[in-house]
Copies of this chain bind each other. A is one copy, B any other.
Amino acid sequence: MKKYSIKDIATLSGVSVATVSRVINDNGRFSEETRNKVLKVIEETGYQMNYSAKSLRMNKSFSIGIVVPDISNYFFSDVVQKIEEILFAKGYSTIICNTARNNKKEIAYLRMLESKGVDGLIVISGADEFGFDYSHAHKNIPYICIDREPKNRDNTIFISSNHYQGAFEATEELLAAGCKYPIVAMHKRKSSSGKERCRGFMDALQKHSICFSHARNVLTVDVKSKDFHADVKKMLTLHKNIDGIFAINDSIAMELLQSLKKMNISVPKDIKMIGFDDTPQDCYSSPTLSSVKQDTTMIAHTAIDSLLNIISNPDDTGNSIIIPVSLVLRESST
């Protein structure tokens, strides 16, 4: 009920605050006897460290900020959840910041995270490059980027799934399944991962000697738009022999599935489709959706290892890490 401070513990166990501190942090030297004495009192009182004080003194907050566009997106929540779990086990708490891809909000969050003195930052995705130079007064917090191109690679580490490979393989799968006229469906605003996926698609076409043209092979859509269906319909009536779609993410793929159903186009018979992210809902659609699966567990572990490493070795930056992906085949592409 009462709030004990290290001073109380010292008094109660008949030693000085310094000794209590040493016992708690297990550094410095002290006799086994005093250790037990102090530990006993701590146990009895239910003493809890005051992290505000500790942070102030040590200039370290034992907390990590995560900047993410939208946590209700499955891929993001999945990796955030995993990161949070690992960090907690390591004694860090996590401050999660939803930017909603809003730049002003992002900056406000970054200021807050700086003020709270986070020890490091994990930046996940987002439309633009990540700069972190919004203010001449920033504290140079160590940070790593996941799926978001840093403006300056020299002071950070860039972690990313192999979006290129995933897109390439997905496209080749479509071709192997007999598609002659595959297109890529994407939104206008390209994230760094989106660009890579697009590039993978194009290179796969090229490898199989299919000529790529933006007008013929790219369907630009906006999932939130009311014109979604109209846009799709327009594209498909303009290019009647389209028989394969690589959707840059599952959310687009799902909407496309709906649109095609409305148009009485059968998937996979008339058009084959592959998405990206292997969202759980892929199993519930009809047809079930083939998709490229990212290894969120590995991403999370890699991110944390990298971040903690550059926190202790600030010069160990500058490299990027690519995480393999895998293709999960379901009904929509067979």
Known contacts A93-B95, A96-B94: A71-B80 contact under CB 8 Å: yes
> Which residues of chain B have C-beta atoms less than 8 A from A283's C-beta?
254, 258
Interface of A, helix, strand, loop or mixed by DSSP: mixed
Is B1 a contact partner of A138 (Cβ separation < 8 A)?
yes
| 0 or 1 for each of A72-101: is its CB under 8 Å from B? (1 = yes) | 101001101100110010000111111010
Q: How far is the CB of A71 from chain B (nearest CB, A)?
A: 5
**A53 on the interface (CB 8 Å rule)?**
yes
- Segment touching B, from A41-49, A236-244, A315-323: A41-49
18 inter-chain pairs at a CB distance below 8 angstroms, sorted by A residue, are: A1-B137, A1-B140, A4-B137, A46-B135, A46-B138, A50-B115, A52-B53, A53-B56, A71-B77, A71-B80, A71-B81, A72-B81, A84-B98, A85-B98, A94-B95, A254-B283, A285-B285, A285-B286
By a CB distance below 8 angstroms, the chain B residues around A1 are: 136-138, 140
**Are A61's CB and B52's CB within 8 A?**
yes
Given A71-B71, A85-B98, 18 additional A-B pairs, CB 8 A: A1-B137, A1-B140, A3-B139, A46-B138, A48-B137, A50-B117, A51-B115, A51-B116, A52-B55, A56-B56, A71-B80, A72-B74, A88-B112, A93-B112, A94-B95, A280-B281, A281-B281, A281-B285
Chain A 4-44 per-residue mask, 1 if CB under 8 angstroms from chain B, else 0: 10000000000000000000000000000000000000000
Residues of B contacting A85 with CB < 8 Å? 98, 100
Q: Within 8 Å CB of A114, what residues of B?
A: 48
Q: Are B77 and A46 in contact (CB under 8 A)?
A: no
Q: Count chain B CB atoms within 10 A of each CB in A77, A85, A97, A258 and give the residue with the most.
A: A77
Tell yes or no: A111 within 8 A of B by CB. Answer: yes
Please name all residues of chain B whose beta carbon is closer than 8 Å to the beta carbon of A130 when the two chains form the complex.
none
Of all chain B residues, the one with the shortest Cβ separation from A283 is: B258
In the complex, chain A residues 99-122 whose Cβ is within 8 Å of any chain B Cβ:
100, 108-109, 111-112, 114-117
Chain B residues whose C-beta falls within 8 Å of the C-beta of A112 in the assembled complex: 88, 93
Shortest CB distance A94–B (Å): 7
Cβ of A257 within 8 Å of any chain B Cβ, yes or no, is: yes
C-alpha gap A45/B138 in the complex (Å): 10
